[in-house]
Amino acid sequence: GVAASSTRCSDDAGIYAISKAATTELWQSSDGTTWTKIHTFANNLLGVFAVTNAAGHSRLLAFIDVGADTDVQYNDNHGATGDWQDCSTVNWTGSPFFQGLYQSGATVIAGTYFPAVAPLTTSQIWRSLDYGVTWTKELEIPDSAVSHFHSVAKHAVTGKWIIDTGDTDAAKQRTYVSSDGGDNWALWHATSCSPTGQVAKFFDLGHATRMYFGSDHVLRVGFVDLTTWATGTLVRTQIYVPGEPHWEVVQVGGLYYAGVQSTEASGSRHATISVSPDLVEWAPYYRETGNTISVACKYAGTDSTGKMHWMTVDSAGTTAHLVLTPAKTAYRSGLYLQPAKTNLASQA
């Protein structure tokens, strides 16, 4: 199980989101349309994530601003009031970023991003070996070296954990790797900060040596070889959008979706979701045309009917929610999408 985001996540009971109007409130929806407030925390929520517990059921993790530190609580009953318990954790300096928490079996690893008290003075890597209940700080780095952590993931074949700082400051663009399950962390290369730039998300597609990523500084969808640390550029040439971030790349139902922005000659920007069967052939699947949503959509999860839920903000800063039926593909003389009304390839 991989956490979906910081301000929202999903499990088999629905989608969870932090209220923008009252950030102490956690809301739930089974369909993305009707929302119910399920719990009010004593302090502001910095992030909420979904992992899996030892019984194979959903466990929510909430990161709460308590002043000098961030408190972490967990809930095994879909966020219900009365079932939140404190994790055995102290001195977190902040909450993870959208893709800054990852689970592999009983191990959950997270890097801090959103500060409990601004500015964030240290960045930390935390590890849990019991599905997110007990946490140990494994690495702490001063702000002079690292501003925050962006994305963390595990590469199944090599067993390596990899976490990227995702910083716009080139001197702070660092990738850390652990080959022993998170006990020890080291820079990917002794003489260079990062092979990738500003990674928004890592994702493992089962390749023997490659870890794929979406980046919003060195703007591309690409891969890094975990044995040579060479960065692949083939995918970049297929989906490269000059000046716009690939904030999200996800795999749903065997297809890949990239949440990006498109820019017109007039300067107008539109949230766009592209789809690919192989990370080489791409086609636009959704494009916002109302000139109100320009920030790239972030994937929130899939509901019980199989529909995808994406979230972003509009020009007024209000949370916007998009429900999409997954694409279907067939190879003929190119890429063919169904339903046809959402196939924008002829207009690209």
Note the pLDDT of residue 241: 46
CB-based contact 329:337 (threshold 8 Å) = yes
Cis omega (within 30 of 0) for bond into 339: yes
pTM, full prediction: 0.77
- pLDDT band at 262, cuts 50/70/90? low
Report residue 309: phi and psi, to 5°. -120, 125
Note the pLDDT of residue 55: 93
Percent above pLDDT 70 for the chain: 72
Q: Where are the alpha helices (DSSP H) in the chain?
A: 234-239
Report residue 342: phi and psi, to 5°. -100, 5
- pLDDT band at 217, cuts 50/70/90? low
Residue 295 half-sphere exposure toward CB, CA atoms < 13 A: 15
> Which range has the top average pLDDT, 22-36, 191-205, 240-254?
22-36
- Tell me how far apart the alpha carbons of residues 318 and 33 are, in angstroms, rounded to a whole number: 15
Closest CA to 333 of 344, 345, 348: 345
Q: Tell me the average pLDDT across 128-140.
A: 95
* Count of helix runs (H) and strand runs (E) in the chain: 1, 31
Comparing 180 with 174, which gets the higher pLDDT?
Answer: 180
Residue 325, pLDDT > 50, answer yes
Beta bridge partners of 28: 16, 36
Bridge-based pairing state of the strands 14-18 and 8-11: antiparallel
CB-based contact 101:109 (threshold 8 Å) = yes
Percent above pLDDT 90 for the chain: 26
Whats the size of the chain, residue-wise? 348
CB-based contact 64:52 (threshold 8 Å) = no
Residue bearing tokens 């790349």: 249
